[in-house]
Amino acid sequence: MTDKKYFPKTLSILLSIILPGLGQVFQRKYRSGFSFFIAFSTSFAVTLWYGKPVWFIIPVVIWAWNIWDVISLPKGKSLVIPLLLWLIMAYGIGGQVTEFDLKSLITNASRSKDMVAQMFKLDFVQPRAEKMEGYVDIQSPCSDFPPAADNESDGTRVYVVQTCANVGEVITVKGEGFWPNQLTTFYWQNPIGGKGMATEATSDASGNVTLEWKVLSIVHTTAPDPTIPQIHRIKVSQSRPIGGLELSAVGGYIVQGIYETLALAFLSTIIGAIFAIPFGFLAARNLMTANPVSAIIYLLVRSALNIVRSIEALIMAIIFVIIVGLGPFPGMIALTIHTTAALGKLYSEVIEGIDPGPIEAIKATGSNWLQVARYAVIPQIIPAFTALTIYRWDINVRSSTIIGFVGGGGIGFFLWQWIVLQDFRAVGSAFVAIAVVVVILDFFSAKIRERLV
Amino acid sequence: MLKVENLTKVYPGGTVALKDLSFEVSDGEFLVIIGLSGSGKSTLLRCINRLIDPTEGKVILDGIDVTASKGAELRHIRRKIGMIFQHFNLVKRSTVLTNVLNGRLGYLNPWTTTLGIFPGEEKKRAMDALKRLGIDDKVDSRADALSGGQQQRVGIARTLMQEPTLILADEPVASLDPVLAHSIMQYLERLNKEDKVTIVCSLHYLDLIQRYATRVIGLKDGIKVFEGLPSEINREKFKEIYGEEAQDVRATALE
Amino acid sequence: MQRYIPFLKALRKLLITLVLVVLIILSIRVTEPDLVKLVSSFPKAESIMGQLLRPVFFDRESEKVTVSQVVPVPCDSVPVPTSADSGSRIVLDPPCGSPKDVINLRGFDLPQNAEISLRWILPDGGLLSIKNIKTDDDGEINMPLEIRPITSAIDGKAAQISFEVTLPNGKLVVAKTLKDVINAMFVTIFMALIATTIGTIIAIPLSFLAASNITRKGKLGTVVYYLVRAFLNIIRSYEPLVLATIFAMIVGFGSPFAGVIALSVTTAASLGKMFSEAVESIDTGPIEAITATGANRVQVVMYAVVPQIIPDFLSFTIYHWDINVRISTIIGFVGGGGIGYLLSQRINTLQYSQAGTALLAIILVVWALDFLSSEIRKSLV
């Protein structure tokens, strides 16, 4: 064979000096040539980007090693050292770039301990209770003529003896008409509705309750100017269990969120699967490469599917949230598009893999193309399509738990708010709910897929 | 050299694979064990090198009680017993050389071999073994790139590395076509004749039995139903061992 | 009974269809698809998409140019200057005037539709702004200008009328956005690399514990097996993004490290599962063969188990790196660094063209890695 002739070695060495790996390629050592090229170019690009001159040693050594490799061809040199150098560079620079700092996990241990402890106190249900409430509006700080702080509502009367409150003073809050001998909670609500402070007292046998309350400066933290008198509200509330359990506020949101999440995943899977079928056929090589026109369509569809697939659904969700507004709808559009692209690709692979035997056999019986499709193609692809769709539904359930992070609806929407508000009990509850739902669905979908295959 | 006494094996679940089996093998014999699949042949061979622990009974090799040994002692016994398998049991993704060297593991320093380092003389020994089996040109191929007959020869080369005094062969030719079967059996025969290695082998084909065996033991449902010379096995005996329903097997096996 | 089977089959099909329809209706009620809104928001979508599809790579370098013209007030105070014929210029008609006169001011060859601040530079150096004016589509302005007494020339020094414009000088430079995107992309790739490495290191022991053929022996083994498997399944049920928020709360928002830990944990869980399946599917023949040669336990693992699982492990790991790059493109949304952070910032500040640059970078990198990883995996099998 004439092509066994080797390229002049000196020229190869020269080529490898100019471009690492090129000399090896000319000596028909494609593998090591490609490896050297990738190792050199990536390490050079990374060090160039990172900019610290010390790291340039690594591409230089790889370059030198590459020359040595060409000189000692056809035996070549071990690739272990360049690989090791490359790894040192990758993890050295990578660690610095990603601010890798295991210490920060430990230095924040106490914070995380509190957090995790809270997360385990789940908040799904609360004992059912009835409430007795009253309130009074009070001025703070005192103006020259404060309005009377005395209010009657729903059979209760709440009043403050001093009629107004300055920071640091002790006020006397009195309530009448409450349940007797019951723990009573007092909330201070500032003018924008935030809770300033809270404390408890117990009512006496005739349903009266009295509290000596020191007004702390935190009640004014939200005011632009704490010296201007504003109307605050003192809420007095009692609650007593009436037996049984009910969903807590958080529990209610979780149920709603999970329901939305499942609906989102379900709908986007179904719609995505329907859209994916034509794309799957258009992106199947065995069907589409017969003539140039369909081959172009094949290329276009395949590239489009690949491009869309590489954009995470969450990114699309942000864009759709901007376009159509908050809620599950934009999340659904984003998930549907991503599902269409991903399933389209998978379906096309199924179609590419079908057995041509039955098609030939059915054609041989004199059937037309519709009959061939119905009796030779569809029976082959239906089980695989269904299994892939169920698999995708699994993925979509997972994805739709986060699509709410950007306003796309589902449990993620609530979860993100709880995370921002640092309500760790609610966060922990949502975590448990997600795990339970996903694990159960995983189990069932695996069972169904097993039966299909 | 090998003495099997009252060997019984009951699998968890109650299947009785061997029942009160006793026999002796002397140096240089080529003992063939015949019987239907499921008659206990594989279990018997694996009880000899303790890949399976027998429920009762003893296996005594050169005066050492194999059934009572454990740990390093057992490994030292095992490295003198070669084993050849029906499905070759090569590490498919490793090279032929590594597969052959694997046979030497029992003799070598566990630390250096864990790092994948083998001494040079062992590599030479492996090359010699491959040369002897005529496949030294395949030394750097991956095991799964070889044909069935070649893979079994690698299996034999692996066994040679153990410098065995006894070779257990578990249906060594059942996965091969008849021509290859003879060539593999001839290698075993040469080991038996030239190297004086005792061989205990399970087989199916009557012509192979009559051509290679010095003695035959027949098993049925874990019980010894025949012991004697290969010439003593005629159609009647074969039918007795393999059962009435095995007409087809018998017919083809006798071709 | 035989006769009923077709009927039962049909009934089952009907039931499945019915359940599906009910589920779809329920889902539609919850997700409230609003096609009218989708259509009515089309113009908005068009403008956003238009910008996204025009990613920024290069900026035209520009410089600030001061355009000015001397205005003799009154006309005979200083010699009347000639105005330039080309370039950004101001032309006055008449070229001079007396206080209280109204003359016509025109500007030519200015940037189109640009806002300019017209002002007087008084003879004593003081500034007096006149008004802000926008240039028309041809880059011209045309306006009446009232001459004020204060602009009168002093000691032969006349006032000037002047403004600054930013003019592109034609040189193309790499856009700052592109540099930012490349920086963020590097961080993202490194996040994925480090997370995959850590995840793999944790996954290897976990996978052996979760492999039924290795661990599920005896009471303790069975307990460990089920515990590890349950743990892997629970962790796998969380999107890495959710875990990233939790770690971000511990190590602080804005650091890619939180994303790296979250990704490592999810990688460990899902690789642990995949690895354990690889371990479960190994061929026991070689184990038997090597045990029979008298090798010890470690040697059996090294020579019979490891060669069988290494290619699978490597292939899964590379595949997961690919996935992790994809995930780390969004992990920045919750405050980790990387391309996701950059993208969410650009979208939140409505800079869609620049978001388009980031999106394009994501597509290219994900695509390239997809290709690379599948090629490497092909050569491994």
Which CA distances in Å does A194 have to A26, A221, B9, B158? 75, 10, 78, 80
For C158-183, the DSSP string reads -EEEEEEEEEEEEEEEE-HHHHHHHH
User: Taking CB atoms and an 8 Å limit, are C251 and A101 in contact across chains?
Assistant: yes
Instruction: Give partners of C (≥3 CB pairs < 8 A).
Output: A, B
For the domain made up of C176-380, give the CATH fold.
MetI-like fold (1.10.3720)
CATH number at residue A436: 1.10.3720.10
Residue B255 has a pLDDT of 40
For residue B90, the chain C residues in CB contact (below 8 A) are 285-286, 289
Query: Do A146 and A135 share a structural domain?
Result: yes
Distance from CA of C32 to the nearest CA of A (A): 6
User: Taking CB atoms and an 8 Å limit, are A99 and C256 in contact across chains?
Assistant: yes
Query: Do A147 and A69 share a structural domain?
Result: no
Segment among A366-370, A418-422, C237-241, C342-346 with least mean pLDDT = A366-370
Q: Following CA atoms A98, A103, A105, A106 in sequence, which dihedral angle do they give, to the nearest 10 degrees?
A: 180
Establish if A236 belongs to a structural domain.
yes
Establish if A118 belongs to a structural domain.
no
Question: Nearest-CA neighbor of A359 among A341, A346, A375?
Answer: A375
Residue A289 makes CB contacts below 8 A (sequence gap 6+) with A295, A298
Per-residue pLDDT, averaged over C301-311, amounts to 87
Per-residue pLDDT, averaged over A406-424, amounts to 85
Domains within chain B, CATH numbers bracketed: 1-80+166-173+198-255 (3.40.50.300), 87-163 (no CATH)
Establish if A188 belongs to a structural domain.
yes
Residue A5 has a pLDDT of 54
Residue A3 — pLDDT band, cuts 50, 70, 90? very low
For residue A420, the chain C residues in CB contact (below 8 A) are none
Residue A244 — pLDDT band, cuts 50, 70, 90? confident
Residue C138 pLDDT greater than 90, yes or no: no
Distance from CA of C197 to the nearest CA of A (A): 9
> Which candidate from B72, B76, B102 shows the least CB-CB separation from C303?
B102
Establish if A121 belongs to a structural domain.
no
Which CA distances in Å does B169 have to A423, B87, B148, B200, C109? 69, 11, 16, 6, 97
Distance from CA of B178 to the nearest CA of C (A): 23
User: Taking CB atoms and an 8 Å limit, are A104 and C257 in contact across chains?
Assistant: yes
Per-residue pLDDT, averaged over B161-182, amounts to 88
Segment among A47-61, A138-152, C52-66 with least mean pLDDT = C52-66
Query: Strand pairing of A230-247 and A183-189?
Result: antiparallel
Cis-peptide into A20, omega within 30 deg: no
Among A240-249, A268-277, C144-153, the range with the most confident prediction by mean pLDDT is: A268-277
**Cβ of C199 under 8 Å from any chain A Cβ?**
no
**Cβ of C25 under 8 Å from any chain A Cβ?**
no
The A residues from 179 to 208 touching C (CB cutoff 8 Å) are none
Q: Following CA atoms C11, C12, C18, C24 in sequence, which dihedral angle do they give, to the nearest 10 degrees?
A: -160
Round to whole Å and give the CA distance between B4 and B18.
12
**Cβ of A359 under 8 Å from any chain C Cβ?**
no
Report yes or no on whether pTM surpasses 0.80: no
Query: Do A341 and A313 share a structural domain?
Result: yes
Residue C203 pLDDT greater than 90, yes or no: yes
Establish if A399 belongs to a structural domain.
yes
Per-residue pLDDT, averaged over A63-67, amounts to 87
For residue A438, the chain C residues in CB contact (below 8 A) are 237-238
Instruction: Give partners of B (≥3 CB pairs < 8 A).
Output: C
Which ranges of A283-401 would DSSP assign to H, the alpha helix? 285-288, 292-310, 313-324, 328-352, 356-364, 369-372, 378-400
- In tens, the pLDDT along C153-181 reads 887 788 888 887 777 666 777 778 888 88
Residue A266 has a pLDDT of 92
Direct distance between the N- and C-terminal alpha carbons of chain A, in angstroms, rounded to an integer: 49
Establish if A114 belongs to a structural domain.
no
- In tens, the pLDDT along A11-21 reads 888 888 888 88
Q: In the listed set A214, A246, A278, which residue is the last one of a domain according to the structure?
A: A246
Q: In the listed set A97, A117, A140, which residue is the last one of a domain according to the structure?
A: A97
In chain C, CATH 2.60.40 sits at: 59-173
Number of domains in chain A: 3
**Cβ of A259 under 8 Å from any chain C Cβ?**
yes
Round to whole Å and give the CA distance between C153 and A154.
82
Which ranges of chain B would DSSP assign to H, the alpha helix? 41-48, 71-78, 96-101, 110-114, 120-132, 148-160, 178-194, 206-212, 235-242, 247-254
Interface B-C, measured as beta-carbon pairs within 8 A, has a size of 90
Show the tokens assigned to A253.
Answer: 């949101």
Domain that holds residue A318: 249-452
> Which candidate from C20, C191, C234 shows the least CB-CB separation from A439?
C234
> Which candidate from C33, C52, C363 shows the least CB-CB separation from A329?
C33
For A18-74, the DSSP string reads HSTTHHHHHTT-HHHHHHHHHHHHHHHHHHHHH--GGGGHHHHHHHHHHHHHHHTTT
User: Taking CB atoms and an 8 Å limit, are B76 and C294 in contact across chains?
Assistant: yes
Sign of CA dihedral C223, C226, C230, C231: positive
Instruction: Give partners of A (≥3 CB pairs < 8 A).
Output: C
Q: Chain-wide mean pLDDT for chain C? A: 83
CB-side exposure of B44: number of CA atoms within 13 Å?
37
For residue B116, the chain C residues in CB contact (below 8 A) are 302
Distance from CA of A160 to the nearest CA of C (A): 42
Query: Do A76 and A143 share a structural domain?
Result: no
**Cβ of C191 under 8 Å from any chain A Cβ?**
yes
Round to whole Å and give the CA distance between A182 and A196.
23
CATH code reported for the domain at C59-173: 2.60.40
**Cβ of A76 under 8 Å from any chain C Cβ?**
no
Query: Do A325 and A395 share a structural domain?
Result: yes
User: Taking CB atoms and an 8 Å limit, are B114 and C302 in contact across chains?
Assistant: yes
> Which candidate from C194, C246, C252 shows the least CB-CB separation from A95?
C194
Establish if A222 belongs to a structural domain.
yes
User: Taking CB atoms and an 8 Å limit, are A105 and C261 in contact across chains?
Assistant: yes
Which residue in A has a C-alpha nearest to residue C260's C-alpha?
A: A98
Query: Do A11 and A144 share a structural domain?
Result: no
User: Taking CB atoms and an 8 Å limit, are B78 and C293 in contact across chains?
Assistant: yes
Q: B130, B159 in Cβ contact below 8 A?
A: no
Query: Do A61 and A155 share a structural domain?
Result: no
The answer, yes or no, to whether B and A have at least 3 beta-carbon pairs within 8 Å is no
- Please tell me whether residue C358 adopts helix, strand or coil conformation: helix
Round to whole Å and give the CA distance between B203 and B173.
8
Query: Strand pairing of C58-71 and B64-65?
Result: unpaired
User: Taking CB atoms and an 8 Å limit, are B104 and C293 in contact across chains?
Assistant: yes
Residue C373 pLDDT greater than 70, yes or no: yes
Interface A-C, measured as beta-carbon pairs within 8 A, has a size of 174
- In tens, the pLDDT along B191-239 reads 999 989 999 999 878 888 888 999 999 888 889 888 888 888 877 777 7
Query: Do A232 and A325 share a structural domain?
Result: no
Query: Do A151 and A65 share a structural domain?
Result: no
Query: Do A443 and A387 share a structural domain?
Result: yes
Residue A223 has a pLDDT of 59
Round to whole Å and give the CA distance between B39 and C188.
62
Distance from CA of B82 to the nearest CA of C (A): 7
Structure-model confidence comparison of residues A191 and C210, the more confident one: C210
For C114-145, the DSSP string reads -EEEEEEE-TTS-EEEEEEEE--TTS-EEEEE
> Which candidate from A97, A101, A259 shows the least CB-CB separation from C190?
A97
Establish if A186 belongs to a structural domain.
yes
**Cβ of C257 under 8 Å from any chain A Cβ?**
yes
Query: Do A195 and A135 share a structural domain?
Result: yes
User: Taking CB atoms and an 8 Å limit, are C337 and A98 in contact across chains?
Assistant: yes
Query: Strand pairing of A125-140 and B30-34?
Result: unpaired
Residue B183 pLDDT greater than 70, yes or no: yes
Query: Do A402 and A253 share a structural domain?
Result: yes
In chain C, CATH 1.10.3720.10 sits at: 176-380
User: Taking CB atoms and an 8 Å limit, are C293 and B102 in contact across chains?
Assistant: yes
